[in-house]
Amino acid sequence: MQHRIFSMSYKAIPGLALGLGLASLGPPAAAQDDGADEYLDEVTVTARRREESLQDVPIAVSAFSGGQLEEIGAVDITALTNQAPNIQLEVSRATNTTLTAYIRGVGQQDPVAGWEGGVGIYLDDVYLARPQGTVFDVYDVERIEVLRGPQGTLYGRNTIGGAVRYVTKRLSAEPAFSIKAAVGSYDQRDLIVKGNMPFTDAFRVGATLASFRRDGWGDYLTTGEENADKSIFAGRVSVEWEPSDDVFVRLFGDFSEDDSTSRQGHRLLVGPAGEPVLGDVWDTRAGISEFPASTGGLNPETTQGGIGLQVEWDINDELQFKSITSSRSDKSESWIDFDNLATDYFDAPVVYDNEQFSQEFQFTYTGERLAGVFGLYYLDANAFDAFDVVIFSSLTAFTLGDYDTDAWAAFFDFSYALNDEWILSVGGRYTEDERTARVVRETFAGLGSPFFGGSGVSITVPTEGVPEFNGNRTDSEFTPRVSLSYAPSDQHNLYLAYSEGFKGGGFDPRGAYNIAEVRQGFAPESVESIELGAKSVWSGGRVTTNVAVFTMDYTDVQIPGSVLLDTDGDGEVDGFAGKVTNAGGAEVQGLEVEAVARLTDNFTATLALGLIDADYTEWLEATTDPVTGDPVFVDISDTREFQNTPETTMSLNLRYERPLAAGSLAINGGISYRDSTHQFEVPNPLTDQDSFTLYDLSAVWTSDDGKYELGLHGRNLGDEEYIAAAYDFPTVVNSVIGFYGPPRTVTLSGTVNFF
């Protein structure tokens, strides 16, 4: 029997496979090969930094080809939420392009400067340290891989909860040029132009430009602006050079500019002056843009981009060296109207400015029985943010955070074939993170701080390091991974894996540093995970099933939060700050089942089911003994819930294809269900989302020569209203705000491939 885990030759990922499906623990993509008896082609992924069949990888991993995503009408990366189990990818509250990502209960809700999420986002193997601008639109993508569970032995940066890899297409050896246009609901107007030109057999240049525009889903009733509109211009360029058969060099860059109006939410409670709850969840009474004193001419916009250099050198038939160098930056300016009212009761202009440089070296070895990767990684990142919080028009709490991260790591992961059936994999990672934080906090009487052009007068009373705090800490850890795989035949692969994950501690760049525990910073968090999986192919390749059972011990869970302050002790709220808590521990268990079945030659079904049980086991909160006045700690874990972690996620997707008019017509129907979801650790029936179901339907016709494509895509056809994010400040003018997922949309798209 061939050592399947090391096989390097696989069929290509089909461009138009299954409509919604390759899912984790990874069923292969469906395709129809003329004259072939087998239905399911093998899918090549690089989840372990080397090419392998998706079915052979002893990791819970999903792979979605670009063709699949386009066929179902996926707008951006958040569409994956409804395709694979136990993942949650949403647009963050009060933003248009900032990503909130959760996998198996691990993630980050608040895009705080310098705070790295539990889910690693990668663009062409470059780790993105900040979530701003990472709601990537789906274009020019080869595939997207989603890995669940700790992956530190394979990736440059910490991936304590999992990783999402957005992989763009390599350039073709043949000239190519195409145009794709789309129109749809809310005056949607999209245009994607891409081309590829080989100048010689060894030198190629390619570029893609894209414009995504539509009107808002609602209106600013106070200012007349549109709410939740879209105006994005983006592009990518790639230069590839092969100076010899053994060397490949790729210089790549990307950019995006989001000029959409700052997105506001929906008030869930009556306003202080009796303002009723609006009937349309996309309309808002927000009025922050009418207060120039508090916004200082702020221009709501998010720009991001970067350049990278990838070098691959095949030293010999068994050893390859790879270098990935990248420099990236992003900047966001936006308005957050916490009260969503015309008056400036609780408003915040905010600026985020981030820069990063990363370098990764990899050595990949592929031998007869041994294969694996060894790597070194370095990250130098700076995150800056500044914001005002205007309270009751008379006070402004100003915060400036400047946050440096200097990190390096060494990692390895090797697999050894003990015999034809058993494979042992062993990996490890050493991480060292240094964090340096400077935080300035001031309170001003009046509307707006001088930073944002306001005329407020400082009334700050320096206390315990306030108005300026400086902190530094270094955390280091070694985290191992080991797995044992058993393949009794080419159709079945069983594995048992143990892995650990680690994410360093730090300081809250919005922190209330007059509170002693905030000055101490927050501790690292860690995960110990055990996973048992089975990947199988049945009925001569017509059915693929993948099952994983996992349990995780989650320790010192980092919980970001916000507190309202009374800085002068007069009994009135006059400040706003961050406060990160380390919950002592949690236990997470779950089951993931995915299957692809070719029911007939033209009809395919894909199922993805995720079950998860996540509970805090220890969460100590400091309080005071009412009799002695001594500080005591109370375990409040029974009153806390995991956020963005529905107990059940399920999707069923059906794809039917038939010849039609010198081409083929593929019809995709999708049903996705998500159980009730808590937006915060403290349950709130107003913001917590009940279970709901979404319905999607797409029809795509492709000409036999592949030159023309016409698609009609309907998403959320039931027009379900569901809360995807929220703010919860009931003590400040009843500021409980919901941010809803996209409404029903219909899109007509057309593509012409000229050559």
Taking the C-alpha atoms of residue 280 and residue 246, their distance in angstroms, rounded to an integer, is 60
Three-state secondary structure call for residue 703: strand
- pLDDT at 56 (0 to 100): 73
| E strands present in 675-707 | 692-703
- How far is the C-alpha of 469 from the C-alpha of 440, rounded, in Å? 6
User: Can you tell me the distance from the alpha carbon of 345 to that of 298, in angstroms, rounded to the nearest whole number?
Assistant: 19
Q: What is the pLDDT of residue 42?
A: 57
Contact 580, 556 (CB under 8 A): no
pLDDT tens per residue across span 80-100: 999 999 999 999 998 888 999
Query: Residue 655's pLDDT is what?
Result: 97
In the numeric block, the tokens 């929906």 are attached to 266
Band of residue 632 on the pLDDT scale cut at 50, 70, 90:
confident
pLDDT digits (tens, 9 = 90+) for 30-43: 333 333 333 345 55
Mean of pLDDT values over 129-147: 88
- CA-to-CA dists, residue 203 to 141, 169, 245, angstroms: 21, 16, 13
More confident residue, 274 or 464: 274
- Please compute the mean of the pLDDT values over residues 294-309 and round it to a whole number: 86
CATH number reported for the structural domain that contains residue 114 in this entry: 2.40.170.20
Structure tokens at 752: 């012409």
Residue 729, token pair as written in the block: 């400040």
Establish how many alpha carbons lie within 13 A of residue 600's alpha carbon, considering only the half-sphere containing its beta carbon: 7
Q: Say what the pLDDT of residue 34 is.
A: 35
Six token digits for residue 404: 């440096």
CA atoms within a 13 Å half-sphere pointing along the CA-CB vector of 147 = 29
User: Rounded distance, CA 722 to CA 281, Å?
Assistant: 10
Q: How far apart are CA 111 and CA 130, in angstroms?
A: 8
Q: Give tens-digit pLDDT for 480-511.
A: 999 999 999 989 999 999 999 999 999 888 87
Percentage of the chain lying above the pLDDT 70 cut: 89
What local confidence, expressed as pLDDT, does residue 11 receive? 27
Segment 259-283 mean pLDDT: 95
Count of the separate structural domains present in the chain? 1
Q: Which domain holds residue 369?
A: 4-753
SS3 of residue 95 by DSSP: coil
Q: What is the arithmetic mean of pLDDT over 664-674? A: 97
Res. 467 pLDDT band, cuts 50 70 90: confident
Neighbours of 546 (CB within 10 A): 27
Q: What is the tens place of the pLDDT at every residue in 2-15?
A: 333 333 222 222 22
Report the DSSP beta bridge partners of residue 401.
385, 439
**β-sheet with 106-108: strand ranges across:** 87-91, 99-103, 106-108
pLDDT at 316: 96
Tokens representing 692 are: 């709901």
pLDDT score of 573:
64
- pLDDT, averaged across the chain: 88
Confidence of residue 393 (pLDDT cuts 50, 70, 90): confident
pLDDT in tens, 175-226: 999 999 999 999 999 999 999 999 999 999 999 999 999 999 999 999 999 9
DSSP string over 224-261: --EES-EEEEEEEEEEEEEEETTEEEEEEEEEEEE-PP
pLDDT of residue 280: 97
CA–CA dist 284, 220 (Å, integer): 5
